[in-house]
Chains A and B, each alone.
Chain A
Amino acid sequence: MSGYLQQLLVGTGVTIEVATISLLIAFVLGLIGAAAKLSSNRWFALAGSAYTTLIRAVPDLVLMLLLYYSVQNWVNAITDLLDQPQIEIDPFLAGVSVLGFIYGAYFTETIRGAVKAVPRGQLEAGAAFGLNRWQIFSRILFPQMMRFALPGISNNWQVILKATALVSIINLHEVIYAAQAAIKGSSWPGGAQMLFYLSMAALLYLVLTTLSNFVFAYLEKRYAAGFEQLAR
C-alpha cells in the first residue's frame, strides 16, 4: 500500500513531465505548421494542410502504436544492416515525441486561427515603424495571438493530459501503469483493490485537470489585459 502510494507519486511525476514536454513540442510544431499553412509558398501550405488533415483524421492511439512499432522496426532493420546491437527506443522519448507530433497538428489549427484573428493593420503599422520581422512577431503578433489562442491551447492541454493515460500501452510507467502494477502485486482478495487503485489514478487526473483549469483561467485573464471591458 505505501509502496503503491510512492509508485503512484512517481507515476504522477511522469504524467506531468510527459504532458508538459509533449505540450512544448506540440506548441513549437504548431507554430511551424501554422507558419507553413499561412505561407504564400504553395508547397509549404500544402505540406501544412497534409499534416493537419492526416493526423487529425486518425485516432491518437492508432498513430501512437503505428509510429512506436514502425520506428522501432526501422531502427532494428538499420542496426541489423550495420551489424550493430539492437537499440531499444526509450519509451519516455517515444511517448513524448509521438504525443508532441500528433498534438502539433491540433496546435497548428489553433494557432493558425489565432494568427488570422490579429488585425493585419497592426502588423503593417509595425512595419511602418521600422520594426524587423522578428520584432513584429515577438512584440505585436505573438502577444495578441496568444489571447485568441489560449482557449484552444487550454483545450489541447486537457486532451494531452488525458492522452498521457495511453502511453502506458507503450510501456511507459505513469499513473495507470502504477495502478496496474499495484493490482498485480496486491494481496487483497477480490476486485475491490482494483477499483480502489484505478479510482486513485482517476482522482489524480481529476486534480490535475482541475488545477490546470485554474492556471488557464489566470493566463486568459493576463493575456486579456486591457480587453476586459470589451469582452464583457
Chain B
Amino acid sequence: MIDLIKQYWQSYLWGSPTHVSGLAMTLWLTVSCCTMGFALALPLSVARAAGPSWIRWPIWLFTFVFRGTPLYIQLLIVYSAIYGLEFVRNTPGFGAFFKDALNCTILAFTVNTCAYTTELLTGAVKATPRGEVEAARSLGLSGISLYLRIVLPSALRRALPAYSNEVILMLHATSLAFTATVPDILKVARDANAEYYLPFPAFGIAALLYACLSVTFISLFRKAEQKWLKHLSTT
C-alpha cells in the first residue's frame, strides 16, 4: 500500500504539467462544465419562463430528454457514437474536436448540467413575486433592464441552494469521465488498482479525495448563501 501511494500520489493529485490528472482534472471538469452550463442555462431559463411558446417548448423538450436519460448514455453517444459517424470524421473541424476524449466529455457534461440548471433557474424565475415585477414596471423598467435589475438578482438568490446541490451532483457525475479515458481521480484509482491489485486503498483514496472536494464546495456555497441570502437568515 505504501508503494501504491508512493508511486501514485502525484497522479491522484495533479499528475504532471504535460499530463494533468486526478484531483486537478476532476476540478477542471467540474468548474468548466458548471460555468459553461450555467452561462447557457441563464438565457434558456428566461426564454423558457417568459418567451413565446415556439421558443418555450423546444427548451422544455431539451431539458426533458437530457434529464430523463442517464448521463452515462449521453457520454457514450458523444464520445463513441458521434465520432464513429463517417461525415463527422471527414469534416476537419468536427473530426478533430470529437477525436479528443476531453472535448467530448466536457461537451456531454456541459449539456447535461445545462439541462438541470435551466430547469431549476426556470422555477426560480417563475417564482418571482408579481408585486416585484409590477413595482418595477410602474417605475418604468421594462425588457432587459427589468430582468437584469429586478427578476434575475432575486431569482438567482432563490436558486442558490438548489444550484449548490446541482454543482455537487455534477462533481460526482464527473467520475464517469474515466469511461471516456479522461484521467480524472477515478481513472487514476483504476490504474493504481490494476497495477497493485489493492482495490480498497486504491478506490478508498479516490473516495477520500471526492469527499474532500464535496466538503469544500459545500462550505463555499454556504459562505455564498450567508452573503447573498443574509436577509433570510433567522438569527
Write the residues of chain A forming the contact surface with B, with a CB cutoff of 8 angstroms.
Answer: 54, 56-63, 65-66, 69-70, 72-73, 162-166, 169, 176, 190-192, 194-195, 198-199, 201-202, 205-206, 209-210
Contacts and interface: CB of A to CB of B under 8 A. Distances in A.
Interface of B: 64-65, 68-74, 76-77, 80-86, 88, 171-176, 179, 185-186, 189-190, 193, 197, 199-200, 203-204, 206-207, 210-211, 214-215
A195 B72 CA distance: 14
| Ranked 3 nearest A-B pairs via Cβ | A191-B84, A69-B199, A165-B70
B214 A190 contact: no
Contacts, number: 113
A70 B68 contact: no
Contacts of B72: 165-166, 176
Contacts of B85: 190-192, 195
B207 A62 contact: yes
Contact of B214 (A58, A60, A192): A58
B199 A199 contact: no
23 contacts: A56-B214, A57-B211, A57-B214, A58-B172, A59-B172, A59-B210, A60-B172, A62-B185, A62-B210, A65-B186, A66-B204, A69-B203, A70-B199, A72-B199, A176-B70, A194-B80, A194-B81, A195-B82, A195-B84, A202-B77, A205-B68, A206-B64, A210-B68
Contacts of A61: 172, 175-176, 186
Given A57-B211, A162-B70, A176 B76 contact: yes
Q: Is the interface of B mostly helix, strand, loop or mixed?
A: helix
A169 B189 CA distance: 15
Most chain A CB within a 10 A radius of its CB, from B64, B65, B69, B74: B69
A169 B86 CA distance: 28
Contacts of A70: 199-200, 203
Contact of B83 (A163, A191, A199): A191
A70 B69 CA distance: 29
Contacts of B185: 62
Given A73-B199, A198-B73, A59 B81 contact: no
Given A62-B175, A201-B73, 17 more contacts: A58-B210, A58-B211, A58-B214, A61-B176, A62-B207, A63-B207, A65-B186, A66-B199, A72-B199, A73-B199, A165-B72, A190-B84, A191-B86, A192-B84, A192-B85, A198-B73, A198-B77
A223 B84 CA distance: 49
A66 B72 CA distance: 19
Contacts of B83: 191
